[in-house]
Structure 1
Amino acid sequence: MHRFRVADPAAPGSRWALGEYFAEIGAAFGFETGTALDDAAKAFVPPHGLFVVAGRDEEPLACGAVQFLDEERGEIKRMWVAPVARGRGLAGALLAYLEQQIVLTGRRFALLDTNSSLTKAVGLYESRGYRRVPDYNGNADADVWFSKELGTG
């Protein structure tokens, strides 16, 4: 059983997890993350969104976030699982938890974007009922966009 909690994205453990996420993404795509950590601390707090971690406060095993786009849609962002915890279902459980958080706010749709070179992420989203949609956010680093209607009952 995986335990998740909504956390302050500016807390040390949250910043550590986000730093690991950005380090992996930066290495994979060859770009600097700049002020991304500080930007996340603003974007993923109520009422704009929320940030979730799994694991110990000092060194979480996973993180993810939701940014609320409007009254109907929440965008899943910054999903990361530590290499030592991969292959155990943690990413799928994290995705389900983030979806649940969107539903709890009364929203009906989850959106997300990714890069098609991240084949495991694409496979996860497709296996969980996400369908490909046109670009909804102009993210230059993404080339695949997904949407899923979430149950509200």
Structure 2
Amino acid sequence: MEAEQIEQIRDFNRYYTRRLGLLADQYLGQDRPLGQARLLFEIGDGCDLRDLRARLGLDSGYLSRLLRALEEQGLVSVDAHPDDGRVRVARLTAAGRAERADLDDRSRERIAGLLDGLDAVQRDQLLAAQQQIHRLLRLATVTIEHVPGAAEQARECLRRYAAELDERFAEGYDAAALTPAAEVTGEQLLACEDGRPVGCGLWTHLEPDVAEIRHLWVAPEARGLGLGRLLLERLEQGAAADGVATVRLGTHTALTEAIGLYRRGGYREIPDYSPSPYNQLAFEKSLQSS
């Protein structure tokens, strides 16, 4: 990344935080800073403190201080979960719910004021740009790591993958067709967003210099980010680094999104090479020329 790109992003961040009033101790005119106001929004109808920490990326000490301040204001209560005393749950009091409603109204008024200076076309352009920024920033924070074939998070991804195929295929899908952990002779990738698995894929050797990519999947909540293409590229890179010259893959005609991804990625259709009944279309790509 070029230094100029970094500075442009820093400049945008400074402008955006100032314009939205994120630097003030009284966010949106309420008698509290942004951190406390954000907690009122996130707690909603009740939230496990562990989920709050993970969702907001806060350490336990800082979260405790924020919650204590809100408790002292009578806006939040923190109690043990009724089914598990080890779990602490934060809930808004009646005063907290009223304060959150006021916060929502103030926030909407502030945004409406910002948009009021733009015409309809410009507003649409702004919203489209924000959506693109959101997608790209989410993709930038997704981690992709190599995991063993038997890694539980990866197997859970594969179970979700199988369950989705069972719904989408007219003939259903038998989870027994999933590649056993012991047959992952290449590598398996796991994609996580905020610590939650949102995608997977693997490749395994067919011949010394030929590999097959299998079970490339992105969770519904992470689709539209470009994660499928990124996983596919990482699998290809890993196979090429291992001396693989050609990769193949099979897919079902119902998976139109996957077919489009493979064609855009440089795969060409070939005769069927696999005994899998779910591989109704077969593709191949030379890694030497890619």
Please report the TM-score for the alignment, with normalisation by the length of structure 1. 0.88
Q: Are residues 34 and 136 of structure 1, via their aligned partners in 2, closer, same or farther at CA, if it must alter by over 3 Å?
A: closer
Q: Which AA in structure 2 matches 1:42?
A: A
Residue of 17, 21, 30 corresponding to 2:161: 21
Residue of 199, 206, 215 corresponding to 1:62: 199
For structure 2, which runs of at least 5 residues remain unmatched after alignment? Answer: 1-139
Q: Distance in 1 between matches of 2:286 and 2:193?
A: 32
Q: CA deviation at 1:31?
A: 3.1
Q: CA deviation at 1:16?
A: 1.0
Q: CA deviation at 1:78?
A: 0.5
Q: CA deviation at 1:99?
A: 0.2
Matching of residues 80-91 of structure 1 within 5 Å: 80-91=217-228
Q: Distance in 2 between matches of 1:80 and 1:56?
A: 14
Q: CA deviation at 1:35?
A: 7.0
Determine if the alignment matches structure 1 residue 125 to structure 2 residue 256: no
Q: Which moved more, 1:55-64 or 1:90-99?
A: 55-64
Match of 1:43 in 2: 183
Q: Distance in 1 between matches of 2:286 and 2:245?
A: 6
| Deviating 4+ runs (over 2 angstroms) | 56-59
Q: Is the 8 A contact 1:13 1:58 kept in 2?
A: no
Structure (1 or 2) with the larger CA radius of gyration: 2
SS in 2 for 1:107: coil
Q: Which AA in structure 2 matches 1:86?
A: R
Residue of 21, 26, 31 corresponding to 2:173: 31
| Aligned positions, number | 148
Q: Are residues 69 and 57 of structure 1, via their aligned partners in 2, closer, same or farther at CA, if it must alter by over 3 Å?
A: farther
SS in 2 for 1:69: strand
Q: Is the 8 A contact 1:8 1:51 kept in 2?
A: yes
- Structure with a larger share of its residues in strand: 1
C-alpha root-mean-square deviation of aligned residues, in Å?
1.9
Q: Is the 8 A contact 1:17 1:59 kept in 2?
A: no
For structure 1, which runs of at least 5 residues remain unmatched after alignment? Answer: none
SS in 1 for 2:176: coil
Q: Distance in 2 between matches of 1:31 and 1:82?
A: 17
Please report the TM-score for the alignment, with normalisation by the length of structure 2. 0.48
SS in 2 for 1:116: coil
Percent of matched pairs sharing the same residue: 34
SS in 2 for 1:113: strand
Q: Distance in 2 between matches of 1:93 and 1:114?
A: 18
Match of 2:250 in 1: 113
Q: Which has the higher contact order (CA 8 A, sep 6+)?
A: 1
